[in-house]
Chains A and B, each alone.
Chain A
Amino acid sequence: MSDDVVPLSTMPENSKCVVEELSAGVGLTRRLMEMGMVPGTEVEVVRNNLGPIIVRVRGITIAIGRGMAHHIFVKKIE
């Protein structure tokens, strides 16, 4: 993986990124993909503090547990 691919959990608030890879457990990965977080999708990080990360994907807002967010790899976009 190239340098600009980082875990979603490290993205600052109000930043945008593109999903590269999801590598959590099968069930959780599929749930997220079904909610629209497939590789290539643009994601906006709404909130990233303590606790779950809040993102906007395809017009809906999703809260994702922090442990899960460590396993979602994204590419920053400027």
Chain B
Amino acid sequence: MVTDNSDREKHRSQGRKYDFLIALAAQPNAGKTTLFNTLTGKTGYVGNWPGKTVERMEGEFVHHGKIFHVIDLPGIYSLSALTLEEFVSREFIVDERPHAIVVLLDAEALERSFYFLLQVLELMGKVIVAINKYDLAQSKGLHINTERLENELGVPVIAISALKKTGLGELLDRIVDVAEGRLGREEEFRIEYGPLEHYVNRIENILIEHNLFEKYPRRWVALRILEGDLYFMKEVEEKDSRAAKAIEDIIEEIKKVYKKDPVEIIILYRYKFVNDLLSRVIEKVRVSEKRFIEKLDSILLNPFSGPILSSLILLSMMSFAFIINTGFPLNYAFRSLGYEVIAEYIEENSLSSIISKIFSVIAEYFRSVAVSYNVQDWLVDLVVEGIIPGVGSVLTFLPLIFIVNVLMAILEDSGLMSRIAVSFDRLLKKVGLTGKTIFPLTLSLGCNVPGIMGTRILETDEERLSAIVLMPLIICQARLFVLLIMVSALFTGAIMQTFVIASIYIISVTLFLIFNKVITKRVFKQKEVPELIIELPSYHLPSFRVIRWISWERSKSFIIKAGTIIFLFSIILWALLYFGPSTTQNVEESYGALIAKTVTPALSIIDIDNWIIPFALIFGWIAKEIFITSIVIATGKISPIEAVASLTLTPLQSYALLVLVMFYSPCLAAFVTIFSETRSFKLTVFSVIVSLLIGFTASISVYWIGRILGYI
């Protein structure tokens, strides 16, 4: 199972040549992203594993004139195929046979780290062990005899600090040594499993006899099967039912003799091995005192103060992101206090306003240049009203997504994230979700797109898919913008306006929670409420170098993916508005307007017969803020508030329409993201249908309940 190291031919990855392929593996919270970033610097980029929704980081470094291509495996607790991340990781090791694997250990969680290391060593011997955060552990009185450890394991061991960049030179040297075959193990590492050995050998022999799993170390597969690995067992059943039967008999025999599941015995033996090993290589341990920051736990993990403080943290983070992006709610606060000048200053200097200003300047400049060169009218219109706003709408997404990515990375890196998940667990459990769902939910308040992507942290499929399908019910910032304009135009009085805004958010969260309970149970057939199991890592000061890098890379990969589609659709929208059956260039006679007019009767149920509203609803699907833009275009007014006010709706109609606009469908970007995350067209359409049904039902109910109660 050893790759040929004399192979000097250059390998390829996406057209790039490299000398050695290196994998980076670690458990969560070990500091792997920091090490990856330190090693690869600016060459690192974030993508996806082919055909999977698992994030994949790749990069390169050069050492002693050799190019090393680094693949960062996802942070996983083990190499069993319980999660997609684990499956992806082990298949990579087996299929791609990297020249070396760097296993990063967390010096602050040594036992768990070693457990993981052993699993990698059992699969492949070409390993370099890097013990991260060794300086922190040392300050707590821990000393590891790395030389002895090297002898026991047969692979190089280096103490490093990825953050402080210590020990890295030696790490690089050892990577070269292992990749070129001077160091490291030729064979996989072998742990004795006591009474199970005899059974392991029997299964191994069955596999060899039936020529199963030739690309894997057979002993490793035998152990995996004993550990209840469904993936391998299914393979055996499909390929050879006699072999499957023989293996099942062996497992039954173990269960009968030892009154235990073999997985329990295996994990027990592996941990026993770890304990013995550590007792030989750790030279002194002095119990350290709790750091002051750990006292934060008594507030954050308290069942009463925890949810309050957690809400405050998330709320202030989101307000911060909102204020930078649009000025809301700071502008409202200043305006209500009478400081109109400050409110305007905040609005004008918000990122979205600056970006839209830049784009209107570019558009005007292009128009003036084009006119002087006698460019045809339709072409100028296509660029000025189709392409430039299209690119603009993609780019206005970027700052918010970047800021939200930064804030989330800080939460994750500091150790706060898992504490917040714990404090929301009690509430979210009631609707079939675990506390971790609070993160995608919070992200969605900014934009549904990162929210939908953020569901990756959820453990079970039912939980994740249900959250994805219903995520569009959460009011994002684009809809907040629509909400604010409609409320200013259609309702009077500060109290009434505040009431309407608050009620929409309450309806949004309520709908999400109720329908989650229904959908997890009825659609995804969730048998039992998922249980939270999450590690609470010790608090850390986040590394801003790493956070800046990862947030930027994640934002970039979003813009490339979603941007192209949003861009395409904005050109289609422009064409629908520009062209029509008649030659007169009147919006009311464009194809877009004609389509809207055919669906207008559907809105008669809330007594609306103005074609502009379905017109705006149809185009608002591309991006929710286009709802307002469309009304502006169709009414011919200049100010958005005037345009909406000119629709002459009753207060009850206004409210019903508002409910409809807020919930009727995920926008195009969310739609695309739902598809790319679920890889299921069925689920994506299901999400749209659910939103449409919820939106219309809620709107109609509000209207008719209001009518019955005597409102107009």
Least CB separation from A67: chain B residue? B531
Least CB separation from B269: chain A residue? A38
Q: Does A5 make an interface contact (CB < 8 A)?
A: no
Contacts of B418 in A (CB 8 A): 63
Q: Does B361 make an interface contact (CB < 8 A)?
A: no
Which B residues from 300 to 324 make CB contacts under 8 A with A?
A: 301-303, 306
Report 17 cross-chain contacts, Cβ distance below 8 Å, ordered by A residue: A25-B528, A31-B82, A33-B263, A35-B533, A38-B264, A41-B271, A52-B435, A58-B109, A58-B112, A59-B108, A61-B535, A62-B535, A63-B421, A63-B535, A65-B425, A65-B434, A68-B531
| Contact indicator A65/B429 (Cβ below 8 Å) | yes
Q: Tell me the minimal C-beta distance from A23 to chain B in angstroms.
A: 10
Query: Contacting B82 at CB < 8 Å: which of A27, A40, A49, A63?
Result: A27
Q: Does A12 make an interface contact (CB < 8 A)?
A: no
| Contact indicator B264/A60 (Cβ below 8 Å) | no
**Do A51 and B423 form a contact, CB below 8 Å, given A31-B77, A35-B77?**
yes
| Contact indicator A47/B82 (Cβ below 8 Å) | no
Contacts of B528 in A (CB 8 A): 25, 67
- Bound Cα distance A51, B301 (Å): 9
Q: Does A54 make an interface contact (CB < 8 A)?
A: yes
Q: Does B208 make an interface contact (CB < 8 A)?
A: no
Q: Does A77 make an interface contact (CB < 8 A)?
A: no
- Bound Cα distance A59, B114 (Å): 13
Contacts of B306 in A (CB 8 A): 51
**Do A35 and B535 form a contact, CB below 8 Å, given A50-B303, A58-B112?**
yes
| Contact indicator B434/A38 (Cβ below 8 Å) | no
- Bound Cα distance A26, B422 (Å): 22
Q: Does B534 make an interface contact (CB < 8 A)?
A: yes
Contact with B along A18-54 (1 / 0, CB 8 A): 0000101111101111111011110000010111101
Contact with A along B512-546 (1 / 0, CB 8 A): 00000000000000001111111111100000000
Q: Does B267 make an interface contact (CB < 8 A)?
A: yes
| Contact indicator A49/B108 (Cβ below 8 Å) | no
**Do A54 and B109 form a contact, CB below 8 Å, given A34-B115, A38-B268, A67-B529?**
no
- Bound Cα distance A65, B435 (Å): 9
Q: Does B78 make an interface contact (CB < 8 A)?
A: yes
- Bound Cα distance A52, B264 (Å): 24
Q: Does B553 make an interface contact (CB < 8 A)?
A: no
Contacts of B426 in A (CB 8 A): 50-52
Contact with A along B74-115 (1 / 0, CB 8 A): 000110101000000000000000000000000011111001
Q: Does B228 make an interface contact (CB < 8 A)?
A: yes
Q: Tell me the minimal C-beta distance from A71 to chain B in angstroms.
A: 9
Query: Contacting A59 at CB < 8 Å: which of B110, B302, B423, B536?
Result: B110
Contacts of A63 in B (CB 8 A): 301, 418, 421-422, 425, 532-536
| Contact indicator A31/B533 (Cβ below 8 Å) | yes
**Do A34 and B267 form a contact, CB below 8 Å, given A58-B111, A58-B112?**
yes
Contacts of A47 in B (CB 8 A): 301
Q: Tell me the minimal C-beta distance from A58 to chain B in angstroms.
A: 4
Given contacts A28-B533, A50-B303, A52-B532, 6 further A-B contacts (CB under 8 A): A30-B228, A38-B264, A59-B108, A63-B533, A63-B536, A64-B532
Chain B contact patch, size range: 35 or more
Contacts of A60 in B (CB 8 A): 109, 111-112, 535, 537
Contacts of A51 in B (CB 8 A): 303, 306, 422-423, 425-426
Contacts of A61 in B (CB 8 A): 535-538
- Bound Cα distance A33, B266 (Å): 10
Contacts of A65 in B (CB 8 A): 425, 429, 434, 530-533
Contacts of B303 in A (CB 8 A): 49-51
Least CB separation from B419: chain A residue? A63
Contacts of B422 in A (CB 8 A): 51-52, 54, 63
Contacts of B271 in A (CB 8 A): 36, 38, 41
- Bound Cα distance A41, B422 (Å): 23
Contacts of B110 in A (CB 8 A): 59
Contacts of A52 in B (CB 8 A): 422, 425-426, 435, 532
Least CB separation from A30: chain B residue? B263
Q: Tell me the minimal C-beta distance from B536 to chain A in angstroms.
A: 4
- Bound Cα distance A25, B530 (Å): 10
Query: Contacting B534 at CB < 8 Å: which of A24, A28, A62?
Result: A62
**Do A64 and B533 form a contact, CB below 8 Å, given A27-B82, A30-B228, A49-B303?**
yes
Which B residues from 245 to 299 make CB contacts under 8 A with A?
A: 263-264, 267-268, 271
- Bound Cα distance A47, B426 (Å): 15
Which 7 interchain pairs have the tightest Cβ spacing? Answer: A65-B531, A68-B531, A50-B303, A65-B532, A58-B111, A61-B536, A51-B426
Least CB separation from B76: chain A residue? A34
- Bound Cα distance A30, B115 (Å): 13
| Contact indicator B78/A59 (Cβ below 8 Å) | no
Contacts of B228 in A (CB 8 A): 26, 30
- Bound Cα distance A68, B533 (Å): 9
Which B residues from 393 to 430 make CB contacts under 8 A with A?
A: 418, 421-423, 425-426, 429
Contacts of A25 in B (CB 8 A): 528
Contacts of B302 in A (CB 8 A): 49
- Bound Cα distance A28, B532 (Å): 9
Least CB separation from B266: chain A residue? A33
**Do A38 and B267 form a contact, CB below 8 Å, given A52-B425, A62-B534?**
yes
| Contact indicator B536/A62 (Cβ below 8 Å) | yes
Contacts of B531 in A (CB 8 A): 24, 28, 64-65, 67-68
| Contact indicator B301/A36 (Cβ below 8 Å) | no
- Bound Cα distance A62, B619 (Å): 48
Q: Tell me the minimal C-beta distance from A28 to chain B in angstroms.
A: 6
- Bound Cα distance A23, B264 (Å): 11
- Bound Cα distance A35, B418 (Å): 16
**Do A36 and B533 form a contact, CB below 8 Å, given A51-B303, A52-B435, A65-B429?**
no
| Contact indicator A54/B533 (Cβ below 8 Å) | no
Contacts of B78 in A (CB 8 A): 34
Which B residues from 44 to 93 make CB contacts under 8 A with A?
A: 77-78, 80, 82
Contacts of B536 in A (CB 8 A): 54, 61-63
- Bound Cα distance A58, B271 (Å): 10
Q: Tell me the minimal C-beta distance from B455 to chain A in angstroms.
A: 18
Contacts of A24 in B (CB 8 A): 531
Contacts of B301 in A (CB 8 A): 47, 54, 63
| Contact indicator A33/B533 (Cβ below 8 Å) | no
Q: Tell me the minimal C-beta distance from B5 to chain A in angstroms.
A: 32
Least CB separation from B532: chain A residue? A65
| Contact indicator A30/B80 (Cβ below 8 Å) | yes
- Bound Cα distance A74, B110 (Å): 24
Contacts of A27 in B (CB 8 A): 82
Query: Contacting A32 at CB < 8 Å: which of B80, B108, B109, B533?
Result: B533
Contacts of A33 in B (CB 8 A): 263-264, 267
- Bound Cα distance A46, B21 (Å): 43
